[in-house]
Structure 1
Amino acid sequence: MEKTIFFVVVAIYIIAGIVVTRHVKNKDDFYVMGEKGSTLLIVGTLSATYLSAVTLMGLAGMIYNEGPVAHAGFASYGAWLGTLFAVIYVGRKLKALDCQTLPDFFEKRFKNKWVTVISTSIMIIGLLGYGVVQLIGAGVVLSEILDIPFPVLILLFTLALLIFSAMGGMYGVVITDTLMFFTMLAIAAVIAPLIIGQAGLDQVKNLGQVVPGYFSFTGSADRPFGWVFSQFLMWILFFGCTPSLVSRVFPAKNDFVIMKAAVIGVFFAPFMQLLVFIAAAAMMVLRPGIEPADRVFIVGMMEYVPAGLAGIGLAGLMASIMSTASTLFVLTGFALAKDLFENVLHKDFSEKKSLVIGRAAQVIVAIVVCIIAIIQPSSIFWISIYAGSIFAVAWMPTIIGSLEWKRMSSKAAIASMTAGIVTFIVFGELKRFGIITFPVGFDNFYLAIIVSVLTLIVVGFITKPNDYELGYYQKMKETKLSVSTIKSILAKPNGAAELKKQYKQTITIAASFVVISVVLWGYFIVRLGM
């Protein structure tokens, strides 16, 4: 029964993605959904993108083995703060500047070919890594319920994704993400509590006595606290600038939609994670010794949940993978087609030809990711850490400097991004082969972020921005999304009443979710004695 329900729900995702393609009439529809995204759609796509295979498989497996504090308490809290930063700060500023992709911002900010090439290349490398994670996760899920070789499953999954991501662009991704969000919510709100209930919260709490260090800051693996803190820092910096989250802002109708979606979406993301992570710990009570640990939630649904719900849960798990993977396919395709081909080469294509190039680029990306996923070079968790670190050390310092520092120049951007990513990769490999060692609690991530920031500051001070860069900096400071939103609403009939209504709704939603969050998190903190 669970197999039937699983395939029915996944088929609904694919059909919805195909139907949505009829709305894609031009480049704006393809890249930013014509900026028609409602609060519901932005909440859906934001939450669905946040909850990926990394959460439901990679992190769930780490928490199952090592305990929740080191990974959920630090890494997930960092991801939550990073998501707020991505939506409220980076996303809103870039949307106000009419950016359709993140490298689009670098192109507008500096008008320098090498800045665009380097930033886009970093984006492609990072997203390819994160995309591989999703495909491996899909193969793991499907192999549990189908007797089909892993490489064939990866290929079929890739083809299914291309149906709506390549054809529907951002329209297809946002609509299907929202549908998928509700099945993911079923995992957190219904299935996870069922697993927790069978184990018992008291038994979960007692794991600290059964598995030494399970609820400690460094986990049962007794990882160095410096490493644990680096996860907190990495997820803030990664999620704060990752295109998969920042780009969720671009399709929004206006600033009120973004602010409401930030409150609601950023509540649901950690809410779903919280219950999933406690359920992962509950599985250590019910079934210790699951190998590989990435399968923990699949085993939980197949063995401890009624068949009908298990089918919905597996579909929700697949939804978390499909939503993030489709986003990464779309964004990497955008990077190849729009940011490298159109912006760097300064080609002005017709609407029809631009859409063809954008779709072809996604096919190329899908082929590359599919091949890497079939090779399966590492576990889901460690691939995600590597991909996230690349964004954190190479992009975040440059983005903040570009938005806030008047002396920021193209030379500083190039130097900072290059120094960050080269330091991270080179010293990471030297450490891996035992050529060098770092002090306990310090690793190549810390070194790379320090080098990236220092390089940006030093080069920024010894060089001067050109007239264009100074002019665009001034334009950024004068351009605010809130101002344009207010003007557009006041221009409508009864605009003043509509503006007052939007303010009231936003404040009410914010206050309500603060109260809900305090009650929910307070309950689990008290019950688990954390």
Structure 2
Amino acid sequence: MDSYTLTIAVSVLSFIVVGSYAGRRVHSVEDYFVAGRRAPTLFILGTLVASVFSTSLFLGEAGFTYDGQMGPYLLLPGIAVTGYIYGALFFGTFLRRSRAPTVADYFGHRFNSRRVQQAAGVTIVFGLGGYLLVVTQGAALLLADLTALNYVEAVLVAWLSYTIFTLYAGSRGVIITDTLMFLLFTVATVLFVGKLVGGFGGVATAVEALASQGSKPDIAAWHGTIGEGTPWPRAVDFLIWFIIIDLSWSVVYAVSPWQASRHLMARDEHVVLRASIYACFAVIIMQYLIYGAGGLVNLARTDIAPSETVLLWAARHLVPGFLGALLLAGIVAAALSSASTFLSLVGFSVSNDLGSRDRAPRLGTTRLLMGGVAIVVLALSLTVPANVFWIMLFIGTVFASSWGPVAFMSVWSSRITAAGAFWGLVAGFAGNVIPAALDYAGLIRLPSYLNPALLGALTGVAAIYLASSGAGPSALEQSFRQRLHMTPAGDRDRRKTLVTMLAPALLVLYGALMPALLLHWYVLPYQRGRGLVGALGGIDWSQAEPWFALGPALLFVPLGLIAAAVIWRRYSPGATTATLQPEEESVAPW
């Protein structure tokens, strides 16, 4: 057994043991669904990041930057991660306040409609079920490539690796293993990229060398490789595509079931806010490291095929063996963390959201139903060919289109009705999936400004307004919404609030410092490599790259100030908004 196989095997077995051990403390459905609502900041942070990271980042997106899009992924501001912040401020804290067991259950009770809950549950089963299939197959392909296992054996190993503890321990096992996996792939990535960049002579030297090499001349430019052979004829086409995709994913980070459901497990609303803002930082840092590493590997080799294996190749050839093995174990962990989250959410929806409301789900029944879901996924993983079509059709942006408008309006609109919520979910889902499927099949060709995510969102919003134009919300719907806006008395605590205020302060600090770091370590070396520096050897501000480097200041400084203002107004002891008393906090408002 080589070092790669041994490291992966030890890490996977450790996750199984720890996750299964956590199941000993699961005694009720609430423990199983939402980990008893006692998770601290580290666990919510860990599961937020781990559940969104999978092989798509370490393989697909790293390969994308390797092929020619490193520049925009490093220079353009991280619009997507802002969803963590506004999602927690304007949806996640209110979702936790509802004390629902699932996000679909929240929709059902918010609109006093089982039909709405079932519609949300169906999107979870089909959307996350499809993505669970893709992640399982991706993990199997990765294991088959890295070890002596064949594909069938790798599917069984991957499936067992996340099914055992997810089935037994539910959310309690998932958030603990997610946190361990988050720590593993984060430490592994930091060490790997540090060694990789050091081997290329440091950040500035590496960027300058990459900008001057001729095989991919625009790889470090703000727009990356565009023109013939790419989907973007001009730089503006790429910019439009990038902004729409990032805005869509920002809504995904804000309200998607595999992100928003994490807030239901938090100990209090301060944990929701702190973990979400720190998750924003963690994802930004990891993206800089992974995207940068993917592009810089071109300095060692420019013809790796398929490009999705760029980090696998680098782990085997450009760093010491133990460090490469650690990174590969981290990539496998990222795949398994997403798979465990998706399995738990699909299982919870099958158990809680799709059937009748006459009887509350029981722990044993929920485990049996989740086991049934796992068996179906195993069968499909062994029979359905691995295909990126599933990712395109079901992942991420479908929930931005379908759930985004309904989620925020459920908190902030007094006019949306149960009918509006139902048709918003259905139309947003269909308005994204159908155009995406037709475009994938080659039956239509959508320009960059008609992305399926945007079409789905517009369709969903139109459906909400049309369906809500008749009779207004019922008294029960209005009462539920009013109760959502009552801050729990236990969260009106000066000490807690001051600790939470540190998170938006760090956002402002990041926004103020990051432009200077980008200008010094990226823009100036890039311009040297391209021969574009100013007359005195400084930055040439007539180029676009320096201006894009200012993006973090324009985005995160205002966002940090807004977050600080909302947190202080909502949670400081002297705030004047309505308060939910401690004796009421343990009682669901329906």
- Equivalent AA in structure 1 for residue 15 of structure 2: Y
The residue that corresponds to 1:464 in the other structure is: 472
1:106-143: CA deviations, max 9, x gaps? 11112222211111101222212332332233123212
User: Alpha carbons of 1:367 and 1:288: their partners in 2 closer, same or farther (altered >3 Å)?
Assistant: farther
**Pair 1:23-2:25 in alignment:** yes
**Pair 1:505-2:499 in alignment:** yes
Of 286, 289, 293 in structure 1, the residue corresponding to residue 300 of structure 2 is 286
Q: Is the partner of 2:262 in helix, strand or coil?
A: coil
- Equivalent AA in structure 2 for residue 20 of structure 1: A
User: Structure 2: how far apart are the matches of 1:503 and 1:41?
Assistant: 19
**Pair 1:427-2:432 in alignment:** no
The residue that corresponds to 1:213 in the other structure is: 218
Tell me, yes or no, if the aligned pair for 2:398 and 2:456 is still in contact at 8 Å. Answer: no
User: Structure 1: how far apart are the matches of 2:474 and 2:510?
Assistant: 50
- Equivalent AA in structure 2 for residue 452 of structure 1: G
**Pair 1:57-2:65 in alignment:** no
**Greater fraction of residues in helix:** 1
1:255-285: CA deviations, max 9, x gaps? 2222322232321221122111111111122
User: Structure 2: how far apart are the matches of 1:55 and 1:187?
Assistant: 14
The residue that corresponds to 1:492 in the other structure is: none
The residue that corresponds to 2:369 in the other structure is: 361
- Equivalent AA in structure 2 for residue 276 of structure 1: I
- Equivalent AA in structure 1 for residue 284 of structure 2: P
1:411-461: CA deviations, max 9, x gaps? 111222222222222233333444444445323332222121122122222
- Aligned 1:244-255 pairs, distance under 5 A: 244-255=258-269
User: Structure 1: how far apart are the matches of 2:143 and 2:294?
Assistant: 20
**Pair 1:180-2:181 in alignment:** yes
Tell me, yes or no, if the aligned pair for 1:130 and 1:384 is still in contact at 8 Å. Answer: no
**Pair 1:129-2:134 in alignment:** no
The residue that corresponds to 2:463 in the other structure is: 455
User: Structure 1: how far apart are the matches of 2:378 and 2:287?
Assistant: 27
Name structure 2 gaps, 5 residues minimum.
524-544, 546-590
The residue that corresponds to 1:170 in the other structure is: 171
**Pair 1:304-2:318 in alignment:** yes
Tell me, yes or no, if the aligned pair for 2:120 and 2:425 is still in contact at 8 Å. Answer: yes
In the alignment of these two chains, the number of paired residues is 508
The residue that corresponds to 1:480 in the other structure is: 487
State which drifts further: 41-50 or 516-525: 516-525
The residue that corresponds to 2:517 in the other structure is: 523
- Equivalent AA in structure 1 for residue 387 of structure 2: S
User: Alpha carbons of 1:6 and 1:443: their partners in 2 closer, same or farther (altered >3 Å)?
Assistant: closer
**Pair 1:260-2:280 in alignment:** no
Of 290, 297, 322 in structure 2, the residue corresponding to residue 276 of structure 1 is 290
Tell me, yes or no, if the aligned pair for 1:43 and 1:265 is still in contact at 8 Å. Answer: yes
Output the TM-score relative to the length of structure 2: 0.80
The residue that corresponds to 2:150 in the other structure is: 149
Of 358, 367, 383 in structure 2, the residue corresponding to residue 346 of structure 1 is 358
**Pair 1:320-2:316 in alignment:** no
The residue that corresponds to 1:332 in the other structure is: 346
Name structure 1 gaps, 5 residues minimum.
487-498
Higher-RCO chain (CA-CA 8 Å, sequence separation at least 6)? 1
User: Alpha carbons of 1:73 and 1:109: their partners in 2 closer, same or farther (altered >3 Å)?
Assistant: farther
The residue that corresponds to 1:494 in the other structure is: none
User: Alpha carbons of 1:90 and 1:525: their partners in 2 closer, same or farther (altered >3 Å)?
Assistant: farther
Output the TM-score relative to the length of structure 1: 0.89
Tell me, yes or no, if the aligned pair for 1:71 and 1:228 is still in contact at 8 Å. Answer: no
User: Alpha carbons of 1:303 and 1:371: their partners in 2 closer, same or farther (altered >3 Å)?
Assistant: farther
Tell me, yes or no, if the aligned pair for 2:432 and 2:456 is still in contact at 8 Å. Answer: yes
Deviation at residue 227 of structure 1 after TM alignment: 2.4
User: Structure 1: how far apart are the matches of 2:45 and 2:447?
Assistant: 42
Deviation at residue 334 of structure 1 after TM alignment: 0.6
User: Structure 1: how far apart are the matches of 2:225 and 2:127?
Assistant: 30
The residue that corresponds to 1:378 in the other structure is: 387
User: Structure 1: how far apart are the matches of 2:174 and 2:504?
Assistant: 27
Deviation at residue 237 of structure 1 after TM alignment: 2.0
The residue that corresponds to 2:97 in the other structure is: 96
- Equivalent AA in structure 2 for residue 207 of structure 1: L
Root-mean-square deviation (Å): 2.4
State which drifts further: 271-280 or 445-454: 445-454
User: Alpha carbons of 1:428 and 1:356: their partners in 2 closer, same or farther (altered >3 Å)?
Assistant: same
Tell me, yes or no, if the aligned pair for 1:135 and 1:157 is still in contact at 8 Å. Answer: yes
Deviation at residue 500 of structure 1 after TM alignment: 3.9
User: Structure 2: how far apart are the matches of 1:397 and 1:276?
Assistant: 31
User: Structure 2: how far apart are the matches of 1:460 and 1:31?
Assistant: 32
Give percent identity, aligned residues only. 25
State which drifts further: 116-125 or 37-46: 37-46
User: Structure 2: how far apart are the matches of 1:385 and 1:221?
Assistant: 25
- Equivalent AA in structure 1 for residue 413 of structure 2: W
- Equivalent AA in structure 1 for residue 491 of structure 2: T
User: Structure 1: how far apart are the matches of 2:297 and 2:419?
Assistant: 51
User: Alpha carbons of 1:36 and 1:231: their partners in 2 closer, same or farther (altered >3 Å)?
Assistant: same
Tell me, yes or no, if the aligned pair for 1:141 and 1:298 is still in contact at 8 Å. Answer: no
